[in-house]
Chains A and B, each alone.
Chain A
Amino acid sequence: MNSTLLPYLPVFLFLLFAAGLGGGMVIASTLAGRRRRDEPAVDLSAYECGLKPADPEHKRYTVKFYMVAMLFILLDLEVAFLYPWAVVYRDLGWYGFWLMAVFMALLTIGFIYVWARGALEWGDGRPRRPKTAGG
Chain B
Amino acid sequence: METQMFITILISVVQISIVLSLVALSVPLLILMERKVIGFMQSRIGPKRVGPSGMLQTIADGLKLLLKEDIIPDRADKWVFRLAPMIVLVPAFVAFAVVPFSGTGLNVFGQRITPWVTDLNIGILFIIAISSVGVFGIILGGWASNSKYPLLGALRSAAQMVSYEVPLGLALVGGLMWAGTASMVGIVEAQREAHLWFFIPQVVGTVIYFMAGVAETNRAPFDLAEAETELVSGFHTEYSGMRFGLYFIAEYANMLIVAAVATTMFFGGWLRPFPNVSWLAFLDIFNFILPGQWGPFMSGLMWVIIKVSCFIFLYYWIRATFPRYRYDQLMSIGWKWLLPLALANIMGTGALLLWLGQTG
Q: How far is the CB of B3 from chain A (nearest CB, A)?
A: 14
| Residues of A close to B182: CB separation below 8 A | 83, 87
Q: Which of A23-62 contact B (CB under 8 A)?
A: 23, 25-26, 28-30, 32-37, 43-48, 53-54, 56, 59, 61
Complex alpha-carbon distance, A5 and B93, angstroms: 21
Q: Is A133 located at the chain interface by the 8 A CB criterion?
A: no
Q: How far is the CB of B54 from chain A (nearest CB, A)?
A: 24
Q: Is B317 located at the chain interface by the 8 A CB criterion?
A: no
Complex alpha-carbon distance, A61 and B24, angstroms: 37
Q: How far is the CB of B320 from chain A (nearest CB, A)?
A: 24
Q: Is B31 located at the chain interface by the 8 A CB criterion?
A: no
| Residues of B close to A26: CB separation below 8 A | 70, 82, 85, 242-243, 246
CB within 8 Å: A-B pair count: 224
Q: Contact partner of B117 among A14, A25, A100, CB < 8 A?
A: A14
Complex alpha-carbon distance, A28 and B245, angstroms: 12
Contact A13 B13 (CB under 8 A): yes
Q: Is B203 located at the chain interface by the 8 A CB criterion?
A: no
Complex alpha-carbon distance, A68 and B135, angstroms: 14
CB-CB contacts of B319-360 with A at 8 A, as 1s and 0s?
A: 000000011110110011001100100110011011000111
Contact B354 A93 (CB under 8 A): yes
Give chain A's interface secondary structure class. Answer: helix
Q: How far is the CB of A103 from chain B (nearest CB, A)?
A: 11
Q: Is B227 located at the chain interface by the 8 A CB criterion?
A: no
Q: Is B260 located at the chain interface by the 8 A CB criterion?
A: no
Complex alpha-carbon distance, A83 and B181, angstroms: 9
Given the contacts A9-B8, A18-B90, A22-B85, A29 and B125 also touching, CB distance less than 8 Å: no
Complex alpha-carbon distance, A10 and B327, angstroms: 40
Q: Is A106 located at the chain interface by the 8 A CB criterion?
A: no
Complex alpha-carbon distance, A96 and B346, angstroms: 12
State the interface size on chain A (CB cutoff 8 A): 72
Contact B67 A10 (CB under 8 A): no
Complex alpha-carbon distance, A48 and B192, angstroms: 56
Q: Is B238 located at the chain interface by the 8 A CB criterion?
A: yes
Given the contacts A14-B93, A34-B69, A90-B359, A76 and B165 also touching, CB distance less than 8 Å: yes
Given the contacts A10-B12, A33-B68, A46-B146, A122 and B241 also touching, CB distance less than 8 Å: no
Contact B118 A29 (CB under 8 A): no
CB-CB contacts of B30-66 with A at 8 A, as 1s and 0s?
A: 0000000000000000000000000000000000011
Given the contacts A22-B90, A46-B75, A101 and B118 also touching, CB distance less than 8 Å: no
Complex alpha-carbon distance, A120 and B329, angstroms: 11
CB-CB contacts of B116-159 with A at 8 A, as 1s and 0s?
A: 01111100111010000000000000000111110100010011
Complex alpha-carbon distance, A90 and B147, angstroms: 52
Q: Which of A84-122 contact B (CB under 8 A)?
A: 86-94, 96-97, 100-101, 104, 108, 111, 115, 120-122
Contact A22 B354 (CB under 8 A): no
Contact A65 B155 (CB under 8 A): yes
Contact B336 A115 (CB under 8 A): yes
Contact B67 A44 (CB under 8 A): no
Q: Is B196 located at the chain interface by the 8 A CB criterion?
A: no
Complex alpha-carbon distance, A88 and B89, angstroms: 34
Q: How far is the CB of A17 from chain B (nearest CB, A)?
A: 5
New A-B pairs, 13, CB < 8 Å, besides A83-B124, A89-B350: A14-B20, A14-B94, A22-B85, A22-B89, A30-B242, A44-B73, A61-B155, A87-B177, A89-B353, A90-B359, A97-B354, A115-B336, A123-B328
What are 9 contact pairs spanning A and B, CB under 8 A? A14-B97, A30-B70, A34-B67, A35-B69, A61-B155, A75-B166, A79-B128, A88-B180, A93-B354
The interface of chain B, by Cβ under 8 A from chain A, is 5, 8-9, 12-13, 15-17, 19-20, 24, 65-75, 82, 85-86, 89-90, 93-94, 96-97, 117-121, 124-126, 128, 145-149, 151, 155, 158-159, 162-163, 165-166, 169-170, 173-174, 176-177, 179-182, 232, 237-238, 241-243, 245-246, 326-329, 331-332, 335-336, 339-340, 343, 346-347, 350-351, 353-354, 358-360
